């Protein structure tokens, strides 16, 4: 009896503490949500302001006190922005550049990283450090010499200067992919080798299919970088029909005034593709970035 009593009371206690824990977790969740929502609002405030401005009439933009939500939203601003400037064309150009760069990254990065991750050869460590150090070179340094070279090659005004580098491997991606491949057990390689696969067969049949998370990082980051790149298209392109959206947005800054309402709206539209890509890729993305922390 006594032992039963005790068992019962323990059970009750357990049940009570479970309920308590549930309640505490609920309160905890509510607090976390409140904090997250507050932070999210804080982070979104600039974006919200852009959206609000994009719906204002030109005269309202500089009114004081400022209007948080325009009393009569000018949805026509968006149509005006797209009618006045070939934004769709610019976004298409950006998309072409993005795809070409992504293909370049997907082709070159796994091969190079495979070399670093799976083979031993003299000067490997030095080469790896050299590769990492190229991340530190400010882009501005390269402008004049590269312009000169591309001019000699007749590539100015074409997309080649904006695409070619991707086919020779971006150092950040090579680093990431090398780390990722190191997490793949070598036993898989050995098993495939016993089945008669050569070095390249292992890469294409074993390694690359397992690298999907890291390849997602290549895709998403390339997308973001190429979509936002401003300096190089300006220097290397000529025809304004060929400009990507990042440069196309600069046309909203006129000689004498900025069409703020159109500019803000166009900027918002221009970031939508990035958001969509990110939202759908993020689960893989985090898996792909996880290998950063392993010992190199």
Partner 1 sequence: MKYRFTKKAVLLVTLLLLLLASVGGAAAQDPVTITWWTLASAESPEPAIRAVVEAFEAEHPDIKIDVTIMAESAYGDLMNTALGAGEGAPDIAYFWETPWLPHTLDITAHLEADPDLSRDDYFEEYFNNWAVWDGKVVGLPFTVGANFVMYNKDVFDDAGVDYPTADWTPWDYIEIAKALTDPDKRRWGGDRPRGPFRAIWRNIGATKPYSDDSATVDGYINGPDSVAAYTWLWDLVDSGATPTPADIEVLGTEGTGPVDLFIAGRLGMATLNNGHMITAANAGVNFGVVPEPHVPENERFVHAWALRASIWAGTEHPDEAYEFLSFWAGPEGQRINMEIGALMPSLPSVLADYPDAESDYFQGFMGVLNATQTAEWRASHPCWRGAVIRSVSDAWDLIMLGEIERDEVQATLDALVEPAQAALEECVPRLGG
Partner 2 sequence: MLSAWRQMTPQERRGAKTGYLALSPWMVGFVIFYAFPILATFYFSLTQWTLVDPPVWIGLDNYVRMFTRDPLFISSLKATTLFVALSLPLKLVLGLMLALLLNLKIPGMNLFRTVFFIPAVISGVAVSLMWIWFLQPDTGVVNTLLSYIGVRGPYWFWDLNWALPSVAIMSIWKVGGAAIIYLAGLQNIPAHLYEAAEIDGAGKWRRFWRITLPLLTPTLFFQLIIELIDAFKIFTEAFVITKGGPLKATYFFLYYFYEEAFRNFNMGYASALALFLLVVIMGCTVFVYRTSGRWVFYEN
Coil, helix or strand for 258? Answer: strand
Q: Residue 87 binds which one of partner 2, partner 1, none, with CB within 5 to 8 A depending on kind?
A: none
What lies within 8 Å, CB to CB, of 184 at 6+ separation is 206, 207, 210, 211
Q: How far apart are CA 175 and CA 291, in angstroms?
A: 10
Can you give the three-state secondary structure of 176-232, one letter per residue?
Answer: HHHHHHHCCCHHHHHHHHHCCCCHHHHHHHHHHHHCHHHHHHHHHHHHHHHHHCCHH
159 binds partner 2 (CB under 8 A): no
Instruction: Name the residue nearer to partner 2 (CB basis): 1 or 42.
Output: 42
Residue 240 binds partner 2, judged by CB under 8 A: no
Among 4, 123, 196, 209, binds partner 2 (CB under 8 A): 123
Question: Tokens 């400037």 appear where?
Answer: 85
Is 167 among the residues that bind partner 2 (CB under 8 A)? yes
Q: Which of 51, 98, 74, 84 is nearest to 251 (CA)?
A: 84
Whole-number minimum distance, CB 257 to partner 1, in Å? 6
Question: Contact between 70 and partner 2 (CB under 8 A)?
Answer: no
Contact region for partner 2 (CB under 8 A) — 4-12, 15-23, 47-55, 76-84? 47-55
Cβ neighbours, 10 Å, residue 219:
20
* Interface contacts to partner 1, rule CB under 8 A: 58-59, 61-64, 143-145, 147-149, 151-156, 160, 234-235, 238-240, 243, 247, 250-251, 253-258, 260
Taking CB within 5 to 8 Å according to partner kind, which of partner 2, partner 1, none is near residue 275? partner 2
């Amino acid at each position: 009896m006594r032992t039963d009593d005790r068992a019962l009371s323990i059970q009750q206690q357990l049940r009570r503490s479970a309920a308590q824990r549930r309640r505490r977790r609920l309160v905890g969740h509510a607090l976390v949500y409140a904090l997250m929502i507050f932070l999210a609002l804080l982070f979104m405030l600039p974006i919200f302001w852009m959206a609000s401005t994009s719906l204002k009439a030109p005269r309202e933009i500089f009114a004081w006190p400022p209007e948080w939500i325009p009393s009569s939203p000018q949805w026509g601003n968006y149509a005006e922005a797209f009618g006045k400037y070939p934004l769709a064309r610019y976004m298409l150009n950006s998309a072409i550049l993005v795809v070409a760069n992504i293909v370049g990254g997907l082709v070159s990065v796994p091969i190079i990283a495979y070399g670093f991750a799976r083979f031993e050869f003299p000067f490997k460590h030095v080469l790896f450090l050299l590769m990492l150090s190229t991340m530190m070179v400010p882009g501005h340094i390269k402008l004049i010499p590269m312009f000169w070279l591309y001019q000699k090659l007749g590539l100015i005004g074409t997309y080649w200067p904006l695409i070619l580098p991707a086919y020779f491997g971006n150092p950040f991606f090579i680093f990431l992919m090398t780390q990722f491949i190191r997490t793949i057990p070598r036993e898989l390689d050995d098993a495939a080798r016993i089945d008669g696969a050569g070095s390249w067969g292992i890469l294409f049949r074993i390694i690359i299919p397992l690298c999907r998370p890291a390849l997602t990082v290549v895709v998403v980051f390339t997308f973001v970088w190429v979509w936002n790149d401003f300096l190089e298209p300006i220097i290397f392109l000529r025809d304004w029909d060929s400009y990507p959206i990042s440069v196309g947005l600069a046309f909203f800054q006129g000689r004498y005034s900025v069409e703020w309402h159109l500019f803000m709206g166009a900027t918002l539209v221009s970031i939508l593709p990035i958001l969509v890509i990110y939202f759908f890729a993020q689960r893989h993305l985090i898996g792909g970035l996880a290998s950063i922390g392993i010992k190199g």
